[in-house]
Amino acid sequence: MHRLAAALTALLLAFASPALAELKAPPTPRAVVADPPRDNAHPAGLDAFQIDVQGAKINGLIYLAAGDKPHPTMLFLHGFPGNETNIDLMQAVRRAGWNVLKINYRGSWGSGGAFSFAHARTDAEAAVDFLTAPANIAKYRIDPRRIVVAGHSMGGFMAASASAARSSAVAGTVLIDAWNIGADPRFTTLDPKVLAEEMRPDTAPLAGTSPEALIAEVGRDRAKLDLVALSRTIAERPVLMIGAERGIGQMTTALAKAARDAHPNTVVEAQYPTDHSFSDSRIALESEVLRWLARFDPTITPAGARIPLTAAYDETNPFAKILRGELPAYKVYEDADVLAFMDRAPMEPGHVLVISKTSKARTILEMDPKDLAKVMAVVQRVGRAEVEALGLEGFMIIQNNGVGQSVPHLHVHVIPRIAGKPAYLAENAPADPKDLEAMAARIKAAMK
């Protein structure tokens, strides 16, 4: 699809809409950049197998998340022909606690049978059926209420097709620079012989087909291969559409508009200034997908909050509630002016937050220097206590204002550092309350 995308981009840009909205990047989810703790009883793993589809054996591989509880599960469908495997994205989704099933359509990359667009649609539906089969739900610890179908390029079309055909089984859909096969202008504007030669290198890994056969199939089934109509249908449930401005992102713009026209509140659209393979935006792509997937996990707070630098103090913010005794906190230090307590989602065990009890400053720009001095004096004491209680070789201090700030009450992070271990400024998983309580007791005992 790389050659096809390049050619299509040139045509689309000739009819391009006004400049796409500027991208604003929220925080990177931790699963993009850090491995989760090992679960010795139920470790992460993978299983390879074949799925029988109309007498042909297609190859499947499922990445299994750690843990013994049922996992949300993603089906990921590759493009045409599938040179960009997106394995890094699938691994990030697995690190976030999801199973991920990938398949190779009939006639592609060693799967049996002959490749065609119609066969690929049926194969994608069969993969959803595989995930909802009771035996597989039990074997792979699948949560059948949280199955998401995703795809890149042609796989985006196949994901939409499978989601529409198996709507009762699919909770949401992800389309990544999706190819609207039926509306691809090259099939109507280019000489078929010229188009066939453009497509020929991409059909090398595909068995039982030819560029001429696929061009003829599009001519016969253009209405069935219309992704705009499918986008309206799948938008009955949550949909994420991600476009590549140097790929075929203009198609994504049209698809998202059609979906929002049908269902205004279910569609999230993002555009990235990259190519069709997201070659220089892999971290951004993974982050976008994981942030969106968080909606299917009630234990995860949606990421990307930004605190305006100028606004009135919000008396309902979590730290204000802690100070009023309306929310609990694992305290390590308190006096008349300052409170220090454990971060509930620590970057490292021993991660402490220090806040003012008397100031209602939201950011460092609003805080009186005298109040700030009191806070920083306690920060110093907490750092010294962490070193003593935990045997640290170092610690770091972080104080966010606006971007990266999650609570609109000035707070300073005091975070243990482990020699040789990178520090990832990403979202962190909530800690076990028992661990927080025990860690608070250790640091509190070392406070001087």
**pLDDT one-digit tens code per residue, 41-96:** 999 999 999 999 999 999 999 999 999 999 999 999 999 999 999 999 999 999 99
Q: Is the dihedral of CA 198, 183, 278, 9 positive or negative?
A: positive
DSSP label at 35? P
Question: Helix 282-293 crosses helix 87-95 at what angle (to 10 degrees)?
Answer: 40
Q: How far is CA 60 from CA 12, 53, 79, 144, 258, in A?
A: 34, 12, 15, 18, 32
**What whole-number distance in Å separates Cα of residue 69 and Cα of residue 341?**
31
Domains of the chain, CATH where assigned: 2-296 (3.40.50.1820), 318-446 (3.30.428.10)
User: Higher model confidence: residue 15 or residue 91?
Assistant: 91
Is residue 196 predicted with pLDDT exceeding 80? Answer: yes
Give 328's pLDDT tier (boundaries 50, 70, 90). Answer: very high
Q: Is there a contact between 391 and 416 (Cβ–Cβ < 8 Å)?
A: no
The model's pLDDT over 115-141, given as tens digits with 9 standing for 90+, comes to 999 999 999 999 999 999 999 999 999
What percentage of the chain reaches a pLDDT higher than 90? 82
Mean pLDDT of 369-378: 97
Give dist(CA 239, CA 237) in Å, integer: 6
Question: Could you give the residue ranges of the DSSP H alpha helices within 179-248?
Answer: 186-189, 192-199, 211-220, 227-234
Average pLDDT over residues 202-208: 96
What does the alpha-carbon distance between residue 149 and residue 241 come to, in Å, rounded to a whole number? Answer: 12
Q: Which residue has the higher pLDDT, 144 or 23?
A: 144
Instruction: Decide if pLDDT at 2 tops 90.
Output: no
Which residue numbers are catalytic? 411
What DSSP designation does 144 have? E
* Backbone dihedral angles phi then psi of residue 439, each to the nearest 5 degrees: -65, -40
At residue 297 the predicted structure's pLDDT band, cuts being 50, 70 and 90, is confident
Give the pLDDT confidence of 222-240 residue by residue, as tens digits: 999 999 999 999 999 999 9
Reported pTM? 0.71
Q: Is the pLDDT of residue 5 over 60?
A: no
